[in-house]
Amino acid sequence: MYCAAGAGVKTRLIQLRYDCGVTERFPIIDAHQHFWDPRANYHPWLCDETPIAFRYGDYSALRRPYLPADYAADAAGHEVVKTVYVETEWDPRDPLGETAWVERLRRESGLPTVMVAQAWLDRDDAAVVLERQAAFAFVRGVRHKPRRGAMRDARWRAGYARLSRHGFRFDLQAPWTELDDAAALCREFPDTQLVLNHTGLPVDRSAEGLAGWKRALRMLAACPNAAIKISGLGVPGARWSADLNRDVVLSAIEIFGFARAMFASNFPVDSLCATFDEIYSEFREIADSFSAMEQRALFHDNALRIYAMD
């Protein structure tokens, strides 16, 4: 069953609810999740005594192992068929150590399906690290959280220019105030797929803050090689809910379109504000007025295509 796209996403909701009546539950590709074991591996933010400044506040509950069996328990009741593991700020002196550890997890548990690995694009060893990451067949790209202004730095951009030769995607985690630089990257390097993490971090939910976030998303979405992960929507002090996040979710989909947006759990990080079931049940509630084809794209097909999963 398919309902043709009409006007804007939000203006279609009521009509689609009656025309489509979609209630199917689709298999899920979780486009952004993590595993870690701080007992065995060094992650500065999880292992060091002094915590970092964290957008959700107190994250002490995350300072514990989180492995495939934990994820399977959290995701029980939802048909998660594949996942995208995203680097976890593992020891920055050893980016390849994380990839080797993930390779072992895959052999033992079958998860994750693919990986977005660590690489520091402005370092002297960037070319070597990227080449060695590419030797792992399950690595689909790298993530970097660039410092403010880094995307304009010539040395950093030289590292970014190397991504396309390996067929790598680039996962970007940056506040929406930096997306003008991200759009410039997309225009200069049209052969590199950029995936914006965590919905562009719309932390400021004031009318002014959301207006600025939407303007920034429109600028990035004008680049056909940009996509967005709808995830990381926790608000400090508030429980994740459809009412809290509906406008943000629908706006992101409306701006990027149904072919370039993906739902993701960001687990276990977002366990600080919701259960896995709450997040995906609320995603389904928000999306239940979309056509079957549109829902499947958001929950499964876009991640399958963008991360080139078999």
Task: List, for residues 257-279, the tens digit of each pLDDT value.
Answer: 999 999 999 999 999 999 999 99
pLDDT bin (cut points 50, 70, 90) of residue 240 is very high
d(CA 117, CA 134): 10
93: Cβ–Cβ under 8 A, 6 or more apart, which residues? none
Please answer whether residues 286 and 249 qualify as being in contact, where contact means their C-beta atoms are separated by less than 8 angstroms: yes
Token pair recorded at residue 190: 């049209």
Q: What is the pLDDT of residues 95-104, one digit of tens each?
A: 999 999 999 9
The answer as to whether 2 is a domain residue is no
Is it the case that residue 17 has pLDDT exceeding 50?
A: no
Model-level pTM? 0.92
What's the confidence (pLDDT) of residue 237?
Answer: 86
Whether 102 contacts 112, CB under 8 Å: yes
How far is the CA of 89 from the CAs of 20, 108, 186, 227, in angstroms? 43, 22, 24, 22
User: Which one is predicted more confidently, 10 or 148?
Assistant: 148
> Running DSSP on this structure, what letter comes out for residue 298?
I
For residues 26-55, give the mean pLDDT: 97
**Pairing mode, strands 80-86 and 114-118:** parallel
Work out the percent of the chain whose per-residue pLDDT is above 90. Answer: 90
- Residue 125 belongs to some domain of the structure: yes
Residue 76 pLDDT level (bands cut at 50, 70, 90): very high
Q: Is 30 within a domain?
A: yes
Which two tokens mark 223?
């680049």
Q: Which tokens sit at 167?
A: 């067929």
The range of the structural domain enclosing residue 189 comes to 13-306
pLDDT at 294 (0 to 100): 98
Q: Is the pLDDT of residue 244 over 50?
A: yes
Residue 3 lies in a domain: no
Count of structural domains, the chain: 1
- The pLDDT confidence band at residue 21, using thresholds 50, 70 and 90, is very low
- Condensed to tens digits (0 to 9), the pLDDT of residues 142-185 reads 998 999 999 999 999 999 999 999 999 999 999 999 999 999 99
pLDDT at 137 over 60: yes
Rounded CA gap, 301 and 184, in Å? 27
Residue recorded with tokens 């959290």: 74
Q: Confirm whether 35 is domain-assigned.
A: yes
More confident residue, 8 or 2: 8
Domain at 144, CATH number: 3.20.20.140
Whether 6 is covered by a domain: the verdict is no
8 A C-beta contact, residue 109 and residue 63 = no
Q: Which two tokens stand for residue 233?
A: 């929507």
Residue 24 confidence (pLDDT)? 60
263 and 31 Cβ atoms separated by less than 8 Å: yes
Q: Tell me what the mean pLDDT of segment 19-45 comes to.
A: 85
Whether 170 maps to a domain, the answer reads yes
Residue 271 lies in a domain: yes
Res. 126: pLDDT tops 90: yes
Q: How far apart (Å, rounded) are the C-alpha atoms in residues 138 and 214?
A: 33
Q: Which is more confident, 23 or 255?
A: 255
65 residue type, one letter: P
